[in-house]
Amino acid sequence: MSIVIDGNIKMTVWGESHGPEIGGVIDGFPAGVKYDEEFALCEMARRAPSSSAFSTKRKEKDIPVVVSGIKDNVTEGSPIAFRILNEDRRSKDYGNIEYTVRPSHADYTAYERFSGHNDVRGGGHFSGRLTAPMVFAGALAKMYLHSFGVKIAAHIRNIGDISDDSFVDYANADVIERIENKTFPSIKKGNSERIEKLIGDIAKDGDSIGAIIECGIFGVKAGIGGYMARSVESRIASAMYAIPALKGIEFGKGFSYALGRGSEMNDCFKIEGGKVITSSNNNGGVLGGITSGMPIVFSAAMKPTPSIYKPQMSVDISSMTEKELIINGRHDPCVAIRAIPVIEAVAALTVCDMYLEAYGYNGTK
Amino acid sequence: MSIVIDGNIKMTVWGESHGPEIGGVIDGFPAGVKYDEEFALCEMARRAPSSSAFSTKRKEKDIPVVVSGIKDNVTEGSPIAFRILNEDRRSKDYGNIEYTVRPSHADYTAYERFSGHNDVRGGGHFSGRLTAPMVFAGALAKMYLHSFGVKIAAHIRNIGDISDDSFVDYANADVIERIENKTFPSIKKGNSERIEKLIGDIAKDGDSIGAIIECGIFGVKAGIGGYMARSVESRIASAMYAIPALKGIEFGKGFSYALGRGSEMNDCFKIEGGKVITSSNNNGGVLGGITSGMPIVFSAAMKPTPSIYKPQMSVDISSMTEKELIINGRHDPCVAIRAIPVIEAVAALTVCDMYLEAYGYNGTK
Amino acid sequence: MSIVIDGNIKMTVWGESHGPEIGGVIDGFPAGVKYDEEFALCEMARRAPSSSAFSTKRKEKDIPVVVSGIKDNVTEGSPIAFRILNEDRRSKDYGNIEYTVRPSHADYTAYERFSGHNDVRGGGHFSGRLTAPMVFAGALAKMYLHSFGVKIAAHIRNIGDISDDSFVDYANADVIERIENKTFPSIKKGNSERIEKLIGDIAKDGDSIGAIIECGIFGVKAGIGGYMARSVESRIASAMYAIPALKGIEFGKGFSYALGRGSEMNDCFKIEGGKVITSSNNNGGVLGGITSGMPIVFSAAMKPTPSIYKPQMSVDISSMTEKELIINGRHDPCVAIRAIPVIEAVAALTVCDMYLEAYGYNGTK
Amino acid sequence: MSIVIDGNIKMTVWGESHGPEIGGVIDGFPAGVKYDEEFALCEMARRAPSSSAFSTKRKEKDIPVVVSGIKDNVTEGSPIAFRILNEDRRSKDYGNIEYTVRPSHADYTAYERFSGHNDVRGGGHFSGRLTAPMVFAGALAKMYLHSFGVKIAAHIRNIGDISDDSFVDYANADVIERIENKTFPSIKKGNSERIEKLIGDIAKDGDSIGAIIECGIFGVKAGIGGYMARSVESRIASAMYAIPALKGIEFGKGFSYALGRGSEMNDCFKIEGGKVITSSNNNGGVLGGITSGMPIVFSAAMKPTPSIYKPQMSVDISSMTEKELIINGRHDPCVAIRAIPVIEAVAALTVCDMYLEAYGYNGTK
């Protein structure tokens, strides 16, 4: 199944890296939401390969063509399907690896899962390209959430030994202004430049690096979410792990929280402006699986791009022999950077789903 | 919804901490699985409050009574429902906190979500007690998985400044022997004693502590799982976040993986004993959302028990005034310890679900 | 899976005819709904075996014990679990049929599906007894729907050659008064007595009979439902077929509608009291899968009780030999009668689910 | 939601009658199934408007373009997405009805459901055109089922006062030969011609007619299906009601079964060729929600095409005034005819889903 979210809205994506096109359908999206094309294209551009000097050299315009569900710039209530052309396919780059499985990629596991019938070129359906439909769907979710006053932003919390401030320490959405329009979104002054240099060095070295991306969802009301696997955390985590290269997700202080003591980590309640808030937000805005009204904050561990230019040992699964592998082709030295708008998008879809559950499709009427 | 897993099997739990009983139903569980009652009771005992000197003083036998779905010690194919008595309820302990919401608990968020209609005593449906049905269901899942050669174990990877070895560095299930039957399961010699002392000190201090629990699933075939939110990671993460106090989940090296480089972190393939394996297992047995045949390894960040004996600032939501709160009652200084069998159980349910997807209900015939 | 409805609310039932107890859990039911115990018990009594002279002689009080989710007669938002004792089990009645499969029962198909591991006594999990939890869950759904002005009633549309008026010809809920409190609910004067005599004759003959039960859901707003398999019809039909012995479902004039012409069957629109209504209701209140504001009317074909006292040919599946079968034990000559409150209950659950989708769980706040 | 089936496979369709294209995605379809393009196009042609002299004059080639999930004529395991151009759109035909809702169509209910934002031209997403993607998906499901020996066929059981034989009376698939390649599929000799004449007369009259379509699924193993709403009937019914104009579904003898007695209707078991079969098949191959090994037989009530050329009374919902409505444009006098391959297709999808549940995705390896 290629479902990103499967609740009151369902988002399915399709396509392969070297097929004619990729696409997606959002089912259950409410009618009457104003479609802001300019905003959607901006979101797409944030993820597109050309947006960074250090991303893959593959050139894709990534203009989604909406084929159903939106008329006169308003959503109709029927499924919103759209497609994105694969314009710059160079399948020959993958000639020598069809049977030699690439380390830390899905080549071997997909071969086992699909008995070798899957398209291996460019990772096929496992390609990072499939995150483009997620971003478009997320842009729509953001349009819906806008009317509820919800704002979403993500930044690079950690990369190599560079660390940024955490959204956990910011109680409102003003912090977003400090990261907007930066090539390498970060709160601390100078971090963007430091990150640019670090990735540049790694690219020159033919290597890759991962990063921890932190996402903040500001303005969510208290009392959204549910029990057990309907918790905010279950739902966000489930959808986030649909993103390739994501290997960890923590809420609030997450793993650091686990290493602390109750007396220092508990988020104490207080009253401010007639509203119940917490003095700290170590829980990342979620208690018992339900929103507290504080910003929802979570961090995603994005692994280094598996494709590197250095030779690696691997196995040719057709001949079952070990083999040295050299990967050519085009790839980002740090996929985490382009994952930033993807993480925001998938977060938006999840929150949209939870709002629909809380207020119904009539809630937007 | 109080669903822990919602796929080919569905597991729902119910009950409140201070209601007459708690229970669960596993729907879709295959017929013909031999029920090993002794094993099930052992698993229950591992989670039961009496199992540790440092756990809550609440006394519960936690003997599940199966009321349907098992006959003559074999599963029938109909839903397996069971209930567990709440024998030792002391609701008066909670008298003074009905309206003063406890920090880092679900009291406030539940109040908002359910308009104050939820049972607040002992956390109501949010109580850690609700993990007992998860353990019983997991025991059944383990019985099913046994015939596929799958073994599951969890240990304390980190607590305070004590750290243990990682399952990431162990390619087979033999490591389990080193943690079995320890009060504080750990691989490294001496850790169990060190942990015992640490928790003892914290309990004396009226404080609490969290821990990072690592779980290994050994013997899973390559090629299990799926795309996007049907990935092994999405499914395990979604179910795990049903466990109270869990604030993070990472696969393999997770967050550390994100901070490393491709050249040092990629899991290279090689052939051993005629089988494709990887030299390292930084990905924790999952690539592209599908199992690689290496052990599935993931870690869960368990926050410190929110209930501590120290005074804390909070809010009385009936009068909307700030108030100092003293929590009495009984609680574990480290809920993470009793979460160990819960994490294993929920892992077992998830893997059971994925095997049913791969082999069908006829796969056990 | 023993799920009756699997949407914004989930209703699961469990138990076997000759197990210790049966039960159910309703997950996702909104908080804050007033629980009317008297009403719930009345509904249970309508289905209970003692309610008709012609029903099975099995004596069951059928008093549901709620073990979670309701406190101080208000729903809490957590799962509502309840159990019902099996008091009058006579398993010996089934001694001679354990391997000789009963015609038109599930004995043979269950044997194949569950490799013979299912409990065959009294039909096990396939027993009509499992409709008791459906009725209780439906009573709760009716309490929720009451605040939206929705009323539900069912009557015997056809039995043998006796036919009743159809709800299709009644635009409002007043018709319900004409069927209430009748042993054999019917609109036409004298039908109740005619039906009583017919069933009596059949019982004396050791035979059984089916019936067509028509259900009307009055007061549903226009604009509820959805596309394709989220249509009102798909959702009601899916849930209805969870009821044993149900072999057909039609909306409005259904099969007769199919045999007519557009010009005579189309429901023309008009305005009455400032509201859009239709002059006729051949579509049974649903157009394009969405409610029109007219009463939702559907009919269910209930087959004759498969258990009859006449000898029948069958097969002993242990020895694979043909065999004459005499069924002893207790059974209704017409299960359709006791299915009336069950059909209403399942309808209520479905409409409750669709209202939650439309208005959210906050819609009742 | 525009989901046709939502289980181990998920099938979503999108598009509007007068949008640029329609399409669908089948998610969860197993890898390694050989794609037979010729067969798929034949199936499409059976539904296409040109296939009958009496169908809409709208000309559509209905050639699906597969954009993902199939490579070298074998399914890959990734989602199979495809699109179909809308070539012959004449939106001006609908100019005068934008606000005057058409009787027995979805215009009014959609207006209420989607607050008037839905595309009303040609029925928008409610158009019968949306059944084209269902047929293509069904063709794929048939390819999968072929390897299990499952065959599916449908015929006109009743239209006006013409009645055909029933599949209930045929124990094996040979009967299919008698209906194949007929313009108006029917078992009885001469029926095809009688039906052709009847529909011709109705078309000349500017009127429309419905029909009862019966579908037989031959060769399904015993023991497929499940409890309650996972019954074969629930699943088939839920998916069938996704088809526009379908107002009833019955299994086996369905409504007639309900009017008979147990002694005459029960399906007695016997042994034939070493296999357990039933002497009659009044239950339509399903007992207790599980297949018996006899053909699955169900009938669908298809209402008369709501669009007729005769004037009808209706309401202009913008001005809230009553109005006489004349419908121009192109429409079939009997939509039921073109629904035949659609019903087969949706049946195939449902059975495919149930086989995947029984045998897993590895069952085809």
- Residue of B1, B14, B81 lying closest to C68 (CB–CB): B14
Instruction: Enter the DSSP assignment of D292.
Output: -
Write the pLDDT tens digit of every residue in B103-122: 999 999 999 999 999 998 88
3-state DSSP call for residue B263? Answer: helix
- Measured N-to-C along each axis, helices D232-240 and C232-240 cross at an angle, to the nearest 10 degrees, of 170
Distance CA D50, CA D154 (A): 19
The residues, any chain, with a CB within 8 Å of residue C113's CB and separated by 6 or more, are: B31, B77, D223, D224, D225, D226, D290
What is the pLDDT averaged over residues A159-181?
A: 95
- CA A260 centroid distance within chain: 29
CB burial of B59-72 (b: ≥16 within 10 Å; e: otherwise) equals: ebebebebbbbbbe
Tokens of C188: 């036409």
| Chains touching C by CB (3 or more pairs below 8 Å) | A, B, D
User: Are A21 and D125 in contact (CB < 8 Å)?
Assistant: no
Mean pLDDT of B15-37: 96
pLDDT given for residue D58 in this prediction = 61
pLDDT digits (tens, 9 = 90+) for C291-322: 999 999 999 999 999 999 999 999 999 999 99
Q: Is the Cβ–Cβ distance between A345 and A144 less than 8 Å?
A: no
The pLDDT value recorded for residue C93 is 54
Contacts of B330 (CB under 8 A, 6+ apart): B56, B57, B58, B90, B93
Residue of D nearest to C286 (CA): D109
**At B175, is the pLDDT very low, low, confident or very high (cuts 50, 70, 90)?**
very high
**Mutation site for C-interface testing, chosen from B14, B130, B143 by largest number of C Cβ within 10 Å:** B14
According to the model, what pLDDT value does residue A151 have?
A: 98
Q: What is the DSSP string of C142-167?
A: HHHHHTTT-EEEEEEEEETTEE---G
Nearest of C304, C107, C302 to residue D269 by alpha carbon: C107
Chain D partners within 8 Å of C307 (Cβ):
262
* pLDDT, tens digit (0-9, with 9 covering 90-100), for C118-160: 998 888 999 999 999 999 999 999 999 999 999 999 999 999 9
pLDDT (0 to 100) of residue A59: 64
Amino acid code (one letter) for B340? I
- Residues B218-276: pLDDT tens digits? 999 999 999 999 999 999 999 999 999 999 999 999 999 999 999 999 999 999 999 99
Our CA-based measurement puts residue C66 at a distance from the nearest CA of chain D, in whole angstroms, of: 22
Q: What are phi and psi of B67, to 5 degrees?
A: -110, -5
Radius of gyration of chain D measured on its C-alpha atoms: 21
Taking 70 as the threshold, does the pLDDT of residue B91 lie above it?
no
Predicted local distance difference test score (pLDDT) of residue C306: 96
From CA D363, how far away is CA D365, in angstroms rounded? 6
What band does B181 get if pLDDT is binned at 50, 70 and 90?
A: confident
State the first-to-last Cα distance of chain A, in angstroms, to the nearest integer. Answer: 32
Q: Do B247 and A252 lie within an 8 Å CB cutoff? A: yes
Q: pLDDT tens, D244-254?
A: 999 999 999 99
CA–CA separation, C346 and C324 (whole Å): 37
What length is written for chain D? 365
In sequence order, which residues have a C-beta less than 8 Å from that of residue B294 and are 6 or more positions away?
B171, B267, B277, B278, B281, B283, B284, B285
Which residue is it, tokens 């993990």? B131
What is the number of helices (H) and of strands (E) in chain B? 8, 18
CB contact under 8 A, A23 and D67: yes
| pTM over the 0.95 mark | yes
Supply the ipTM of this predicted assembly.
0.96
Q: CB-side exposure of D245: number of CA atoms within 13 Å?
A: 34
| Arithmetic mean of pLDDT, C255-263 | 97
Q: Measured between CB atoms, which of C15, C75, C110 is closest to B117?
A: C75
Measured between alpha carbons, how far is C108 from B344 in angstroms, rounded to an integer?
A: 38
Residue with tokens 């159910």: C24
For the cut 70, the answer to whether the pLDDT of residue A302 exceeds it is yes
For the beta carbon of residue B182, count every other beta carbon within 10 angstroms: 16
Q: Dump pLDDT digits (tens) for B185-203.
A: 999 999 999 999 999 999 9
Collect all residues from A whose CB is shorter than 8 A from any CB in C: 8, 78-79, 227, 356-363
Tell me whether strands D65-68 and D21-27 are parallel, antiparallel or unpaired.
unpaired
**Residue C179 near residue C155 (C-beta atoms within 8 A):** yes
Residue range C170-181: average pLDDT? 93
The amino acid at B35: Y
Q: What is the mean pLDDT of residues C38-58?
A: 78
Asked if the Cβ–Cβ distance from D117 to A19 is below 8 Å, we say: no
Taking CA atoms, A44 is separated from A21, A177, A213, A338, in Å, by: 16, 20, 18, 10
Q: Which residues of B touch D361 (CB under 8 A)?
A: 357-358
Find the helix or strand (DSSP H, E) in which C232 lies. Answer: helix C232-240
Q: Which of A324-328, B141-145, D39-43 has the lowest mean pLDDT?
A: A324-328
Nearest to D14 among A2, A68, A117 (CB): A68
Q: Is the separation of the CB atoms in B184 and B158 below 8 Å?
A: no
Mean pLDDT of D152-173: 97
Q: B258 to chain A nearest CA, in Å? A: 4
Best D3, D105, D227, D350 member to test C by mutation, with max C CBs in 10 Å, is D227
Total Cβ atoms within 10 A of residue A320: 12
Burial-class residue C51 by CB neighbours within 10 Å (0-12, 13-18, 19+): middle
Angle, CA B266 vertex, CA A105 and CA A347 arms, to 5°: 60
pLDDT digits (tens, 9 = 90+) for C181-233: 898 999 999 999 999 999 999 999 999 999 999 999 999 999 999 999 999 99
> Could you give the count of Cα atoms lying within 13 Å of D240 in the half-sphere of its Cβ?
32
Which chain D positions have a beta carbon within 8 Å of B356's beta carbon?
360
What is the pLDDT at residue D264? 97
Residues in chain A with CB shorter than 8 Å from the CB of C359 are: 359-360, 362-363
Q: Where are the beta strands (DSSP E) in chain C?
A: 3-6, 10-14, 21-27, 65-68, 70-71, 74-75, 80-85, 151-159, 162-163, 211-218, 246-251, 269-272, 275-278, 286-287, 290-291, 296-302, 312-316, 321-325
* Alpha helical stretches, state H, A147-216: 191-204
Q: How confident is the model at residue C57 (pLDDT cuts 50, 70, 90)?
A: low
Chain B residues interacting with chain C (CB cutoff of 8 angstroms): 1-3, 10, 12-16, 19-23, 25, 27-28, 31-32, 67-69, 71, 74-81, 83, 110, 113-115, 117-119, 124-125, 365
What's the confidence (pLDDT) of residue C92?
57
Q: Diameter of chain B by CA atoms? A: 70
DSSP A160: T
Task: Tell me the H-state helices in B163-293.
Answer: 191-204, 232-240, 254-259, 262-265
D contacts of B79 (beta carbons < 8 Å):
227
The alpha carbon of residue B239 is apart from the nearest alpha carbon of chain A, in Å, by 6
What pLDDT is attached to residue A176?
A: 96
* Residues 6 or more apart in contact with residue D92 via CB below 8 angstroms: none
Question: Residue A114 and residue D80: Cβ atoms within 8 Å?
Answer: no
pLDDT value of position D289: 98
Q: Is B92 a residue whose pLDDT tops 70?
A: no
User: How deeply is D97 buried, as exposed, middle or buried, from its count of CB atoms within 10 A (0-12, 13-18, 19+)?
Assistant: buried
Instruction: Note whether C292 contacts D109, CB cutoff 8 Å.
Output: yes
Under 8 Å CB pairs connecting chains C and D tally to 369
Please state, rounded to an integer, the average pLDDT across all residues of chain D: 93
CB contact under 8 A, A210 and B305: no
User: To the nearest 10°, the Cα dihedral for B363, C2, C5, C10?
Assistant: -90
| Interface residues of chain A, partner chain D, Cβ below 8 Å | 1-3, 10, 12-16, 19-23, 25, 27-28, 31-32, 67-69, 71, 74-81, 83, 110, 113-115, 117-119, 124-125, 365
Length of chain C in residues, anyone?
Answer: 365
pLDDT tens digits for range D209-222: 999 999 999 999 99
Residue-wise pLDDT tens digits, A200-230: 999 999 999 999 999 999 999 999 999 999 9
State whether B8 and D357 contact (CB < 8 Å): yes
Chain B neighbors of C21, CB-CB under 8 A = 67-68
Interface test with chain A among C221, C228, C361, by most A beta carbons within 10 Å: C361
Structure-block tokens of residue D358: 């029984």
How far apart are alpha carbons C149 and C134 in whole angstroms? 22
The yes-or-no verdict on residue B96 having pLDDT over 60 is no
The tokens describing D46, both together, are: 């059976």
Alpha-carbon span A71 to A125, nearest angstrom = 30
Taking the C-alpha atoms of residue A109 and residue A89, their distance in angstroms, rounded to an integer, is: 24
pLDDT at A324 over 50: yes
Closest residue, chain B, to C23 (C-alpha): B81
pLDDT digits (tens, 9 = 90+) for D281-291: 999 999 999 99
Q: Say what the pLDDT of residue D362 is.
A: 87
Sheet containing D3-6: which strands, arranged edge to edge? D3-6, D10-14, D21-27, D80-85, D65-68
Confidence of residue C98 (pLDDT cuts 50, 70, 90): low
- Res. D91: pLDDT tops 70: no
DSSP string, B279-318: S--TTTTEETTEE-SSPEEEEEEEPPPS--SS-EEEEETT
The continuous run of DSSP H or E covering A346 comes out as helix A335-359
- What share of chain D in percent tops pLDDT 90? 87
Alpha carbon of C16 to those of C23, C27, C96, C118, C123: distances in Å?
Answer: 10, 21, 19, 9, 8
Residue with more model confidence, A362 or C356: C356
- pLDDT beyond 70 at C364: no
- What is the enclosing helix (H) or strand (E) of D140? helix D131-146
Identify the band that residue A146 occupies on the pLDDT scale cut at 50, 70 and 90.
very high
Which chains does D contact via 3+ CB–CB distances below 8 A?
A: A, B, C
Task: Look at residues D315, D248, D342 and name the one whose alpha carbon lies nearest to residue D109.
Answer: D315
Contacts of B115 (CB under 8 A, 6+ apart): C31, C32, C365
Q: Residue C365: pLDDT above 90?
A: no
Sign of CA dihedral B12, B17, B20, B21: positive
Instruction: Give A343's contacts (C-beta < 8 A, 6+ positions apart).
Output: A154, A213, A215, A240, A243, A300
Beta strands C74-75; C290-291: pairing state:
unpaired
CA D164 from centroid of its chain's CA atoms: 19
Least confident of A57-61, A176-180, A198-202, B342-346: A57-61
Q: Which residues does B327 contact at the CB level (< 8 Å), separation at least 6?
A: B97, B102, B307, B308, B309, B312
pLDDT digits (tens, 9 = 90+) for A41-54: 999 999 987 655 55
Q: Is the pLDDT of residue B149 over 60?
A: yes
Please give the pLDDT value at position B120: 86
D279 CB burial (10 A radius; 0-12, 13-18, 19+): middle
Contacts of B130 (CB under 8 A, 6+ apart): B2, B13, B15, B17, B22, B244
Q: Would you say residue C94 has pLDDT above 90?
A: no
* Contact residues for C149 (Cβ-Cβ < 8 A; gap 6+): C219
